[in-house]
Amino acid sequence: MTKKNITAILAAALMVISLSACSSVRTQADGQSGATEQTSQTAAKPKVDADASASIKGAASDQKEGQHTDSRRAVIYFSSPDSSDMNALEGSTQYLGRVIAEKTGADVFRIVPIKAYPTDYSAHTAQAKMEQGENARPAIQDNFGDLSQYDTIFLGYPIWWGDLPMPVYTFLESHDLSGKKIVIFSTYGSSGLGDTVEHVRSIEKGADVETKAYGTAAGDVGSAKDKVLSWLSELGY
């Protein structure tokens, strides 16, 4: 074999090796590119929580609040929150209001202080007691709109030291409910309704305040639905 032929053979062999190496590098790079794209697509696709619909936190019921319909009745209530998220837990007075609204078709509005009460029990009671001692009128959110369409107001509140919570006084003194029927429902520890019905009547002198108010101990609220419905029936609702 001549030197020229050997040179040609070596050159051909080097070319084959070079092409093979290039092909290998290109294939590896393509594979990495495909893996990266696939990983990117997988990461971009959101994971769906199968239990999401069951774990969404919100109001304790699906009762829409703060919305006017064509109803002639409204439930207006104050209920002290049991957590920092006022919609996470349903208060006892709130529950009674929901039962009443479902039975009567009433619109629902909540009395909400602009300055929220502390969720810590001791701090909460201290603030409420101070307000009562000072005969304060805590500012409340304007969640009610025009109440003129309503003939009947179901007014709900807890009893605090034998009296109305001060935000309820704020509401009553800033809304003239003359010509309307006011029906009171309440929850309490052990004091009963006290003189709160008379206090409401003294503020809303032009309203017809129902003498047969409903009250229940907060600890009995869970079993109060039938009694509430019976009370409403007695009143003609």
Per-residue pLDDT of the chain in tens (237 residues, 90 and over written 9): 554 444 444 444 444 444 344 333 333 332 222 222 233 333 333 222 222 222 222 334 455 788 999 999 999 999 876 544 444 445 789 999 999 999 999 999 999 999 988 888 888 889 999 999 999 999 999 999 999 999 999 999 999 999 999 999 999 999 999 999 999 999 998 889 999 999 999 999 999 999 999 999 988 888 899 999 999 999 999
Q: Say if CB 109 and CB 75 are below 8 A apart.
A: yes
Indicate whether 152 and 229 sit together in one domain.
Answer: yes
Q: Which amino acid is at 115?
A: K
Indicate whether 94 and 204 sit together in one domain.
Answer: yes
Q: What burial letters (b/e) apply to 145-158, b meaning 16+ CB within 10 Å?
A: eebeebebbbbbbb
Spatial distance between the Cα atoms of 86 and 60, rounded to a whole number of angstroms:
10
Considering its fold, how many domains does the chain have in total?
Answer: 2
Indicate whether 105 and 27 sit together in one domain.
Answer: no
What is the domain extent for residue 218?
61-234
What DSSP line would sit under 123-174, residue for residue?
A: HHHHHHHHHHHTT----B-------TT-SEEEEEEE-BTTB--HHHHHHHHH
In a domain, 54, yes or no: no
What is the pTM (predicted TM-score) of this model?
0.71
Indicate whether 155 and 209 sit together in one domain.
Answer: yes
